[in-house]
Amino acid sequence: MNLLDYLPGIPDFLKPGVLFRDISPLLANPAAFKEAIRQLDEIAQQFDYTHILGIESRGFIFGSALAHHAHKGLALARKPNKLPLASHREAYGLEYGNDSLEIQQSTLPKDAKVLLLDDVLATGGTLIAADKLIRSAGFEVSGAITLLEITFLNGNELLEQNRIRHQSVLKS
Ligand SMILES: O=P(O)(O)OC[C@H]1O[C@H](OP(=O)(O)OP(=O)(O)O)[C@H](O)[C@@H]1O
Ligand SMILES: Nc1ncnc2[nH]cnc12
């Protein structure tokens, strides 16, 4: 099964020039969704981690399924003003705009080793902000995993420059 077949590119969404990868067909197909989680678990096993950080909102879907599958804890990086006990906020740019993420420090045990998880790596802005959030809250970042890396945007290079080890299941 080629999982890329379940992630069609939609031209000019959300901005002209962006080929937007839609995860809906993959989620709607039980075999494809299951295989995506199996392959995410396979790359996650290369990291020493206790908790997954799921990034709102598509990172929540894969993050919660993988945490359940791998029997790991799940923490949430949310868009602003959603977390009742938010302690840290980081602003960032991404392929089609700007945003911020928040976490709540009190959710995680002091010795947590956090694996960042998202569906797509594009420019890398989101994962770099997530890494800063976790480290500024005093926790160890084990690395980052994604389902799909959009290679021409060179997000992986930016992650390397920021000393974030990253693995993706798929590249396009
Ligand atoms: O590497 P980057 O350029 O930072 O882009 C990747 C991010 O963009 C998308 O999230 P989006 O902010 O669109 O939110 P969503 O998950 O709510 O759709 C995607 O889910 C990643 O989080
Ligand atoms: N091209 C893209 N498709 C889906 N999600 C994205 N997040 C950032 N860029 C994206």
Please say if 95 is a catalytic residue. Answer: yes
- Return the best residue to mutate from 26, 150, 152, 171 for the ligand 2 pocket (most ligand atoms within 8 A of CB): 150
Please say if 58 is a catalytic residue. Answer: yes
Extended beta strands in 66-122, E state? 73-77, 88-94, 97-103, 113-121
Instruction: Report which ligand 2 atom has the smallest distance to the Cα of 18.
Output: 1
This prediction has a pTM of 0.98
| Ligand 1 in reach of 123 Cβ (< 6 A) | yes
What CA–CA distance (Å, rounded) separates 133 from 54?
Answer: 13
What CA–CA distance (Å, rounded) separates 126 from 118?
Answer: 9
Give the CATH architecture of domain 48-171.
Answer: 3-Layer(aba) Sandwich (3.40)
Q: pLDDT tens, 97-150?
A: 999 999 999 999 999 999 999 999 999 999 999 999 999 999 999 999 999 999
